[in-house]
Amino acid sequence: MGVARSTVNQWVNEVSDPLADSIPDIVTALDTLEPSAAQIFLQLYIQRRGPQPNKNLQ
């Protein structure tokens, strides 16, 4: 994938998230290893990146 180990380490330790242009490569790699992992990763990534409710609007 051409991603540095230090970058992957940051993802794993939730220091930073993958950039959107990395997601297709990550999903492809996971799908090769374990298709269900690819689906779970994608669902979690989308949830995390989705709109965040504004708690001040109540």
Residue 58 and residue 45: Cα distance in Å, rounded? 27
Q: Kindly tell me the sign of the dihedral angle through the C-alpha atoms of 18, 24, 27, 32.
A: negative
pLDDT at 32: 96
The overall average pLDDT reported for the chain is: 82
Residue 41 and residue 38: Cα distance in Å, rounded? 5
For the chain, the structural domain boundaries read: 16-49
Its pTM surpasses 0.85: no
How far is CA 53 from each of CA 16, 19, 50, 57, rounded to the nearest angstrom?
Answer: 21, 22, 9, 9
